[in-house]
């Protein structure tokens, strides 16, 4: 396997320009919602509102003001699939459509996905949705096709302030640590990293520098794999028992799919976008 | 800056990473504010009060950079005894007089009393008479050199510029700033301290501005106030200093260099003007040349320009064709032109990438368009201007009837920037070449193609004319077709002009041999050189070497001037007036801020940038009395384009509305002028009178709210490049009005309610975006609410909405005729 690659998103320099959203849609040829004819959301400057099957990058805008404006902050964050090291979507996918690539990223193979939605329920970050044009589950591929050609993902390439940084995870972690120390030294004590180490789902290959608690950004403080969520309730219900059985199968399946995926890559396949 | 220049904001982000401090001063908390160390609210339109407060703070607390101020500015110069300041005349300067007819003004200024006090008597009219008899241009200009000005380097003389400036701003106290701007005093003082701490020999500070400063009836004076402050703090001509203008869109700098402006020709020369003493070429040169600055070379620039216009037909005996050159005879600015159109005085119009049907006081503009016989719209899509006759609100309401509009509309589809090769000039005067990525689709063509083909056809039509008035057009050189056999083969588009041929003319060449010029130092005033734009001369110094196409950055960002990247006019200098980066003796002010310096061993200026100073002129060179050009300056005068080589704190010539910035209220304001109660507005602001162009009164109870307008990152100007694109339309899909929670509560408005916004000139509707990023301010003891609206929308395209500029007024700054869409009075109500 090549070195694990991913994103470090430094929200302290995000200016909410949405270049990442547009670059993503342009490269991956994703449609605008309703041809672009949509209504104002009323949520600050956010009108795409969520990550979904046609929205693989999404910039969040959080207006954090007290009535007297003694606190005044406008937090911005470009959200994306976290490409978890322990990826729930990959674990639950019954068809093996979701694979781990040689870059340690998580990709849904569109020619294998049958649109069963298991991954949608499993993702603790609400990243995946059905693309209504293809009826398959879609999310960020970390520009797998560009990576295979030695290129930087479209969003990172377009980001004007280097809020979205792409590179080998080990290097990004170092950079993130330095930036964190710099911010702490400058008195920005609320700054913190999210997903940079194994504590969250074995590590997020798209990790963040945040300026407040994860909850402020709508991120779960301690996301869990569905297997852990399901375990207690499963013991109490027949449905749970079925689910447990399925999970067992999935576990076996995963090993096989990993092997298959590796063989496929050997044949130079695996790219879906273009 | 983050909102409208996200790509340039990368440098701000990088500066922040390296520990720079960032202050955002804005009526709204913007995407730029989000990254700032300090956000400072103020009432829209009160920037001179704010900057004036900073100027006073720096002087009274002795925070100004004394060595810089004494040596490099006109602080020590003494002004004429009969000059009277706003302090003497309760808000106006000496020289105010009633305006002549046709200026759209009540008053204008005569600037005679604003001049330097000379060491000897000086009769300019008589000198001019003598000059007209001179044999050569150089002799003419020599006759126009005035005696030196009186000075007091101790700055103590009461009529020195320094003392006049001190008195002028003495009433701009922190308390007054708070009263006028609504900015809490403590916050204002924090700004003042931060600016002072970050200026001086070791540090520099820069101002970045955009339309927030320019779009006012005193827009130019807003920038002037910043310039005055930067000169006091020693932040001009030094790395990290200056005042950075963010442009409205790509290559706006280029479009003023190679101008689409009505009042100037190439390279910032004045447009020949029937209202000025411009009767002959000699008159023009005498009127426009500043004899004791680099502008003493104007005859060379002008004659070379005329050669570029008229080629072989331009000869010494016919004043190089000067009489053929069009002359302006009035205000031909945007609003003045539409005013004339509204009165039925204009028959036809071309709109290239411009959407006036959504521009200032758009409802009146759309009515004016209906008076045209014909118009040509060249754009990406059928924009509002092309569709006004069947789709505008006036047609919907029945006020205009399509069957009664006789305007014939010609809509031409336009090629896009990636479909054209050519150059951009950005705000740093940096010219960069870009290649084309693909052919444009269908019949889309570049503006160059359109202009070229139109000119070729017109030349044919005029070829047989014997009318004297057509002689200029017949003599106009127009040789831009590719040489036979050189037309590009990788395109299906035929008939494009050869961009490099245009560049030959822009850069200039020796008239006889065609050899390209290496710099404007080679220009002559006898017709032996041809050059359209002297400031661009040297960008294309020889065949096969086109510097705007250079893409060699400095390694590891050292030294960071990147002289191998593109070409910055003039002469590839990256920082203008950079002699000021060294002290009077020629040494860097500090190691940290060194840029260029005098190398005594080599006897020349050296460093990281191209010196903006005569290369071998030593710091101890004395000025030559009576000399012209830069010989008139000593070796310690960095501002080489200015008559005395000094940065002007006090501006004796060049500004219409006073030698010093003075706070006036916007034409529509909720409060009286607290600093000068007798003069509410800029006394010489322009108002284009029309029955539909009415203004609200001071504190008008019908229109109590201040509206400011702006753009969003997600859209581009009037929307021609964004509202038709699904990926951009979905990001900001509808027009909205930003309202503070306080005002929303007062008016019973909830987030996403439809609200009606009414000015004295019109009413529009929009969805409410209730946000704490806007806030009420306490101004002159009362609560003033401000609301904000982006103005991108119109009635065509994917994303449609009311035209915000329908609310605007035809009022203008007297220097550059810019409008005042940054501060209007309106009312807001829930729509249902």
DSSP string, A99-111: EE-TTS-EEE-TT
Cβ-contact A5, A104 below 8 angstroms: yes
d(CA B775, CA B771): 9
Flag residues of chain A having pLDDT under 50.
Answer: 229-257, 259-274
Question: Which of B9, B10, B798 is closest, CB to CB, to A36?
Answer: B798
Q: Do B799 and A37 touch (CB under 8 A)?
A: yes
Q: Is the ipTM of this complex over 0.90?
A: yes
Q: Do A18 and B713 touch (CB under 8 A)?
A: yes
Q: Around B354, how many Cα atoms within 13 Å sit in the side-chain half-sphere?
A: 16
Q: Do A22 and B10 touch (CB under 8 A)?
A: no
| Nearest chain B residue to A41, by CA | B752
* Domain boundaries defined on chain B: 686-830
Q: Which residues of B touch A48 (CB under 8 A)?
A: 730-731
789-818 of B, contacting A, C-beta below 8 A: 798-799
User: Cβ of B21 under 8 Å from any chain A Cβ?
Assistant: no
Tokens of A150: 């030695």
* Domain boundaries defined on chain A: 1-267
d(CA B504, CA A196): 56
What lies within 8 Å, CB to CB, of B24 at 6+ separation is: B30, B32, B33, B36, B38, B39, B40
For residue B175, the distance in angstroms to the closest alpha carbon of chain A comes to: 21
d(CA B653, CA B642): 10
For residue A243, the distance in angstroms to the closest alpha carbon of chain B comes to: 39
Flag residues of chain B having pLDDT under 50.
Answer: none
- The enclosing H or E element of A59 equals strand A58-65
- The enclosing H or E element of B605 equals strand B604-607
Pick from B617, B608, B499: which is nearest to B559 by CA? B608
- Give the torsion sign (CA, A121, A125, A131, A137): negative
738-777 of B, contacting A, C-beta below 8 A: 741, 751-752, 767, 769, 771-773, 775
Number of neighbours of residue A187 by Cβ within 10 angstroms: 8
Best to test chain B binding among A23, A40, A44, A70 (most B CBs inside 10 Å):
A40
Cβ-contact B815, B224 below 8 angstroms: no
Q: Do B733 and A16 touch (CB under 8 A)?
A: no
Distances (CA, A) of B343 to B147, B339, B354, B377, B691: 49, 6, 21, 21, 11
Q: Do B713 and A16 touch (CB under 8 A)?
A: yes
Q: Around B815, how many Cα atoms within 13 Å sit in the side-chain half-sphere?
A: 20
Instruction: Say yes or no: domain A1-267 is CATH 3.40.50.850.
Output: no
User: Cβ of B32 under 8 Å from any chain A Cβ?
Assistant: yes
Query: Which listed CATH number (3.40.50.620, 2.60.40.10, 2.40.40.20, 3.90.1720.10) goes with B686-830?
Result: 2.40.40.20
d(CA B197, CA B63): 9
Best to test chain A binding among B6, B41, B723, B770 (most A CBs inside 10 Å):
B6
- Give the torsion sign (CA, B763, B769, B772, B773): negative
For residue A226, the distance in angstroms to the closest alpha carbon of chain B comes to: 33
pLDDT in tens, B616-670: 999 999 999 999 999 999 999 999 999 999 999 999 999 999 999 999 999 999 9
Q: Do B727 and A162 touch (CB under 8 A)?
A: no
Question: Which of A40, A163, A186 is closest, CB to CB, to B736?
Answer: A40
CA B631, B636, B638: angle at the middle one, nearest 5?
A: 80
Q: How far from each other are the two terminal CA atoms of chain B, in whole angstroms?
A: 36
For residue B714, the distance in angstroms to the closest alpha carbon of chain A comes to: 7
User: Cβ of B38 under 8 Å from any chain A Cβ?
Assistant: no
Q: Which residues of A touch B798 (CB under 8 A)?
A: 35-37
Residues in a beta bridge with A68 = none
d(CA B7, CA B247): 13
Model pTM above 0.90:
yes
| Nearest chain A residue to B731, by CA | A47
Q: Is B794 exposed, middle or buried (0-12, 13-18, 19+ CB in 10 A)?
A: buried
Question: DSSP state, B97?
Answer: E
Number of neighbours of residue B453 by Cβ within 10 angstroms: 14
For residue B721, the distance in angstroms to the closest alpha carbon of chain A comes to: 14
pLDDT in tens, B314-339: 999 999 999 999 999 999 999 999 99
Which pLDDT score is estimated for B260?
87
Q: Is B230 exposed, middle or buried (0-12, 13-18, 19+ CB in 10 A)?
A: buried
Cβ-contact B14, A25 below 8 angstroms: no
| Nearest chain B residue to A188, by CA | B37
Residues in a beta bridge with A207 = A8
Question: Which of B13, B732, B772 is closest, CB to CB, to A161?
Answer: B13
Q: Is B330 exposed, middle or buried (0-12, 13-18, 19+ CB in 10 A)?
A: middle
């Amino acid at each position: 396997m090549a070195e694990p690659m991913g994103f470090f998103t430094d929200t302290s320099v995000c200016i909410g320009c949405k270049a990442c959203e547009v670059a993503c849609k342009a490269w991956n040829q994703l449609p605008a919602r309703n041809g672009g004819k949509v209504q104002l959301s009323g949520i600050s400057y956010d009108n795409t509102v969520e990550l979904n099957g046609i929205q693989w990058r999404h910039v969040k805008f959080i207006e954090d003001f007290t009535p007297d404006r003694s606190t005044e902050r406008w937090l911005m964050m470009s959200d994306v699939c976290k490409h978890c090291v322990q990826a729930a979507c990959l674990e639950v996918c019954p068809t093996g459509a979701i694979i781990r690539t040689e870059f340690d990223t998580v990709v849904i193979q569109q020619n294998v996905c049958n649109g069963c939605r298991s991954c949608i329920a499993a993702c603790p970050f609400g990243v995946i949705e059905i693309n209504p044009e293809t009826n398959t589950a879609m999310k960020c591929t970390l520009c797998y096709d560009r990576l295979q050609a030695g290129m930087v993902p479209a969003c990172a390439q377009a980001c004007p302030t280097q809020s979205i940084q792409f590179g080998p995870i080990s290097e990004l972690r170092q950079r993130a640590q330095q930036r964190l120390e710099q911010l702490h030294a400058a008195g920005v004590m609320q700054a913190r990293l999210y997903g940079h180490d194994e504590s969250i789902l074995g590590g997020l290959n798209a990790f963040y520098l945040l300026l407040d608690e994860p909850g402020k950004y709508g991120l779960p403080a301690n996301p869990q794999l569905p297997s852990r969520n399901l375990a207690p309730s499963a013991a109490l219900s027949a449905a749970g028992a079925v689910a447990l059985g399925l999970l067992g199968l999935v576990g076996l399946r995963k090993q096989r799919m990993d092997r298959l995926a590796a063989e496929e890559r050997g044949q130079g396949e695996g790219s879906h976008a273009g | 800056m983050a909102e409208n220049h996200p790509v340039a904001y990368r440098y701000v982000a990088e500066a922040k990473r390296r520990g720079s401090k960032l202050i955002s001063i804005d009526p709204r908390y913007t995407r730029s504010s989000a990254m700032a160390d300090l956000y400072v609210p103020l009432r829209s339109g009160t920037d001179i009060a704010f900057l004036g407060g900073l100027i006073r703070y720096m002087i009274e607390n002795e925070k100004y950079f004394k060595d810089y101020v004494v040596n490099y500015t006109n602080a020590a110069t003494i002004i004429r005894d009969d000059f009277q300041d706003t302090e003497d005349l309760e808000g106006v300067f000496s020289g105010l007089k009633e305006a002549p007819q046709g200026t759209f003004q009540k008053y204008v200024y005569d600037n005679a009393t604003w001049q330097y006090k000379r060491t000897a008597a000086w009769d300019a009219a008589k000198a001019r008479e003598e000059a007209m008899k001179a044999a050569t241009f150089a002799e003419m200009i020599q006759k126009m050199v005035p005696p030196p000005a009186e000075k007091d380097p101790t700055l103590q003389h009461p009529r020195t510029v320094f003392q006049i400036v001190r008195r002028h701003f003495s009433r701009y106290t922190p308390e007054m700033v708070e009263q006028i701007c609504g900015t809490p005093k403590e916050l204002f003082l924090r700004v003042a301290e931060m600016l002072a701490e970050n200026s001086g020999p070791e540090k520099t500070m820069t101002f970045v501005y955009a339309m927030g400063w320019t779009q006012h009836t005193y827009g130019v004076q807003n920038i002037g106030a910043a310039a005055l402050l930067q000169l006091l703090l020693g932040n001009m001509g030094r790395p990290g200093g200056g005042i950075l203008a963010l442009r409205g869109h790509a290559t706006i700098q280029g479009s003023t260099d190679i101008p689409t402006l009505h009042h100037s020709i190439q390279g910032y020369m004045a447009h020949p003007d029937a209202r000025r003493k411009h009767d002959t070429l000699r008159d023009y040169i005498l009127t426009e040349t500043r004899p004791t600055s680099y502008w003493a070379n104007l005859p060379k620039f002008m004659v070379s320009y005329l050669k570029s216009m008229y080629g072989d037909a331009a000869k010494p005996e016919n004043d190089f064709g000067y009489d053929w050159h069009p002359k302006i005879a009035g205000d031909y600015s945007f609003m003045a032109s539409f005013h004339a159109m509204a009165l039925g005085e204009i028959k036809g119009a071309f709109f290239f990438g411009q959407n006036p049907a959504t521009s200032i006081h758009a409802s009146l503009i759309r009515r004016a368009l209906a008076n045209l016989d014909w118009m040509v719209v060249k754009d990406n899509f059928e924009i509002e201007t092309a569709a006004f006759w069947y789709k505008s609100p006036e047609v919907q309401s029945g006020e205009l009837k399509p069957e009664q509009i006789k305007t014939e509309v010609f809509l031409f589809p336009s090629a896009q920037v990636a479909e054209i090769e050519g150059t951009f000039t950005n705000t740093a005067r940096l010219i960069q070449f870009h290649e084309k990525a693909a052919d444009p689709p269908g019949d889309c063509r570049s503006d160059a193609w359109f202009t070229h083909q139109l000119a070729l056809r017109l030349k044919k039509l005029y070829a047989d004319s014997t009318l004297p008035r057509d002689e200029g057009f017949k003599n106009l050189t127009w040789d831009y077709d590719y040489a036979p056999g050189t037309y590009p083969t990788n395109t299906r588009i035929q008939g494009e002009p050869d961009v490099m041929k245009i560049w030959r003319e822009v850069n200039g060449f020796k008239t006889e041999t065609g050899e390209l010029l290496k710099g404007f130092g080679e220009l002559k005033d006898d017709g032996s050189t041809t050059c359209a734009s002297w400031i661009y001369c040297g960008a294309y110094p020889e065949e096969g070497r086109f510097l705007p196409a250079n893409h060699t950055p400095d390694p590891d960002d050292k030294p960071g001037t990147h002289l191998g990247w593109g070409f910055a006019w003039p002469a590839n200098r990256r920082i203008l007036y950079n002699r000021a980066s060294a002290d009077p003796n020629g040494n860097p002010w500090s190691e940290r801020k060194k840029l260029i310096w005098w190398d005594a061993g080599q006897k020349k200026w050296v460093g990281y940038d191209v010196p903006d100073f005569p290369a071998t002129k030593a710091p101890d060179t004395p000025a030559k009395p009576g000399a012209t050009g830069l010989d008139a300056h000593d070796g310690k005068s960095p501002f080489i384009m200015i008559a005395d080589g000094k940065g002007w704190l006090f501006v004796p010539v060049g500004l219409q509305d006073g030698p010093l910035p003075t706070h006036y209220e916007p034409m529509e304001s909720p409060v009286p002028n607290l600093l000068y109660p007798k003069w509410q507005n800029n006394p010489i602001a322009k108002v284009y009178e029309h029955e539909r162009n009415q203004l609200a009164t001071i504190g008008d109870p019908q229109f109590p709210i201040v509206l400011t307008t702006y753009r969003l990152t997600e859209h581009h100007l009037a929307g021609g490049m964004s509202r038709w694109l699904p990926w951009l339309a979905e990001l900001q899909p509808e027009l909205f009005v930003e309202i503070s929670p306080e005002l929303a509560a007062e008016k019973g408005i909830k987030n996403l309610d439809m609200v009606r916004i009414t000015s004295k000139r019109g009413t529009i509707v929009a969805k409410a975006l209730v946000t704490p990023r806007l806030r009420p301010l306490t101004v002159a003891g009362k609560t003033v609410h401000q609301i904000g609206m982006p103005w991108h929308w119109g009635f065509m395209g994917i994303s449609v909405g009311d035209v915000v500029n329908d609310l605007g007024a035809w009022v203008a700054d007297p220097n550059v005729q810019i409008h005042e869409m940054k501060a209007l009075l309106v009312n807001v109500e829930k729509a249902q």
